[in-house]
Amino acid sequence: MGEQRSVKFPQEVVEEYAALGVDLHAMFSAGHLGTRMGVQIVEASAEKVVGTMPVEGNTQPYGLLHGGASAVLAETLGSVGSMLHGGISKIAVGVDLNCTHHRGARSGLVTGVATPVHRGRSTATYEIVITDEQDRRVCTARLTCLLRDAEGLKG
């Protein structure tokens, strides 16, 4: 857990960031929380973000995948999609997350797939479907991010 594999980004996105002197692969991660929870981003574009997370280490006292862990995976994936939609001049800030938990998971990996519901100038909304290794739906989430100007936010 914790070591981020190379993320598959669309080449045009990598080139856009590189033109501004930003190494997208070096910059990108699931964040400190996502890294501690073993979140791995497999594929990332504004149209689709795919990631996995182990159940082990992310359970509640009954041994089931913690609902909060599903929320972390969902927010991570939706935020990445929103960030890529907004481009280099915007940052994505989550403002609304809801999760419906359909079934428990006790072992293995869960996989989340985030797809856009709305991609506007100031907000982006993604639906995130999380499934177990048998492709059974564990959780359905929706995340809305505010797209803020990145200028002046670094430092």
Active site residues: 75
Rounded to whole angstroms, the Cα distance separating 151 from 132 reads 40
Bridge partners for 115 per DSSP: 127
Quote the tokens at residue 45.
């574009």
Alpha helix stretches (DSSP H) within 9-133: 11-19, 24-27, 31-36, 67-86
